[in-house]
Chain A
């Protein structure tokens, strides 16, 4: 028992592990978070179909229950009673393991996301986070990269060329966008001066939400989150027109369903991360009522609802974008990740770190209003520069591009110099 206490003390130095209430409330929080999360994910499959239908001027599922509300249950029952098939040449242990591997990391990430304001009850302060790790953000970075293993293992163990290609694409894509994603969050950590999720939320609650002064970081994080969750326009791992269903081609019944659930679970987790890192977590905007003592249960409840409404908004954005944009070509995906997002994210770190340093050297410290105003102004300038000037007039690795006159002349000059002079071709014929 003492070793357990010591471990808990090490994991959560802020809260004293009083034996019974601590375990009881941790179990309770686990149940609540898990239930809300899983029911949410189930309903999301319906939401996706409904929203896609509305966008396409259709009704969507409306047969099972009131306006199709029982559709997820019907789908679940169907998936449980369906026959499961195993490819003859599959690696069965890995084949069975892969769906769980895809699903669990999305769930585990929730351990460190604070989902409501703390509650000062009869049993002392109860943090509304499953594990208030002081290194919460690093934990998220570590766990979220594990999600790709499920997909890669599924692709490889199916012993199917399309599955394998899907798995390969997924791993390359995840590696490319993981970096940009990690880099885009460093400005947030720079401003918060901490890697604990609760501290990041608190900093935003008492100053400004990060989306207002770190919009570009948010934008990069958003795009990378789309790539990380394998959603359109980055759903190359399961590109139907090329790879049948990609990594889950060979899966059937509940195992297929688990991949499906994993996708939505990842979506909710990515939305929760965006809400926590850039939109103030459970913070209620324009008021400090929820951030100061006394921490009543009402505040916990209201902030919980606020947190979930933020998550649902981002989930809606995920679905909305999916039914708007077509898929990237694979080389465009790579080129966007490595040639645009990564340099922009790195440059942004330099700008934010440099800005903070300069402001501190002239005596304006973080968490003063001058600091916020200057960052806001800088953010607007950067946004206009990025979206106004840089966005227009560029192609992300076009299929081909005609050589313009200057490049054509340059090529001809090279040929002259090397003595490979040919008759000058007629207009437009040399490209």
Chain B
């Protein structure tokens, strides 16, 4: 045998087939007879496990009290976005307040890094704690401003260096 091959001495004295098989079948029978309440499966659509407070899912745009988007169209999020998935066309009203004319996020391109939330000075755009996103078409994954504002799921709590374990 070549040098360096790991040789395991099998415990031949204790090797058994029939008895070992029977004890193994006893073990599986014990599990088989467990009551239904001890099963580990989560019945998904009915029961859901919570996600981490730092879970980064599809986006949500927060609004002010009068129902307008908090976004001031500063352009930081499309700049910082590594996947280039945010499309922002800024506008300005008669008072000189900037607001987004077009604000679209392509959730297919998004890599859910959360930089947009991190960089936003107005705490307007957030990644959300949400994961049920199915759509029937690719176009459905381009979320416009209206849709982003209509989302209601909780938003991600970003990692805080002062509290690294999230306590």
Contact = CB atoms under 8 A, between A and B. Distances in A.
B25 A320 contact: yes
B18 A387 contact: yes
B25 A394 contact: no
Interface of B: 1, 7, 9-10, 12-19, 21, 24-25, 27-29, 31-32, 34, 36, 38-41, 43
- Majority secondary structure of chain B interface residues (helix, strand, loop or mixed): helix
A393 B19 contact: no
B1 A431 contact: yes
A66 interface: no
A426 to B, nearest CB: 13
B7 to A, nearest CB: 6
Given A59-B43, A321-B25, A54 B15 contact: no
Interface of A: 51, 53-59, 320-321, 323-325, 387, 391-396, 398, 400-402, 431
Contacts, number: 68
A51 B36 CA distance: 13
A321 B25 CA distance: 7
B19 A57 contact: no
B17 A57 contact: no
Nearest to A59: B41
Nearest to B13: A393
Contact of B34 (A57, A396, A400, A402): A57
Contacts of B34: 54, 57
Q: Is the interface of A mostly helix, strand, loop or mixed?
A: loop
A91 to B, nearest CB: 40
A193 B41 CA distance: 54
Most buried by B among A55, A59, A320: A55
A272 to B, nearest CB: 22
Contact of A398 (B1, B10, B16, B32): B10
A323 B32 CA distance: 11
A332 to B, nearest CB: 10
B10 A55 contact: no
Given A57-B39, A58-B39, A59-B39, A396 B17 contact: yes
Contact of A400 (B7, B12, B14, B40): B7
A324 B31 CA distance: 11
A401 B43 CA distance: 48
Nearest to B15: A395
30 contacts: A53-B41, A54-B39, A55-B31, A57-B31, A57-B41, A320-B29, A321-B21, A324-B21, A324-B24, A324-B25, A324-B27, A325-B21, A325-B24, A387-B18, A387-B19, A392-B14, A392-B15, A392-B16, A393-B13, A393-B15, A394-B12, A394-B15, A395-B10, A398-B10, A400-B1, A400-B7, A401-B10, A401-B12, A431-B1, A431-B7
A51 B13 CA distance: 34
B18 A391 contact: yes
Q: Which one of B15, B17, B19, B39 has the greatest number of beta carbons of chain A within 10 Å?
A: B17
Nearest to A316: B32
> Nearest 6 A-B pairs (CB), nearest first?
A324-B28, A59-B41, A55-B28, A54-B32, A58-B41, A324-B24
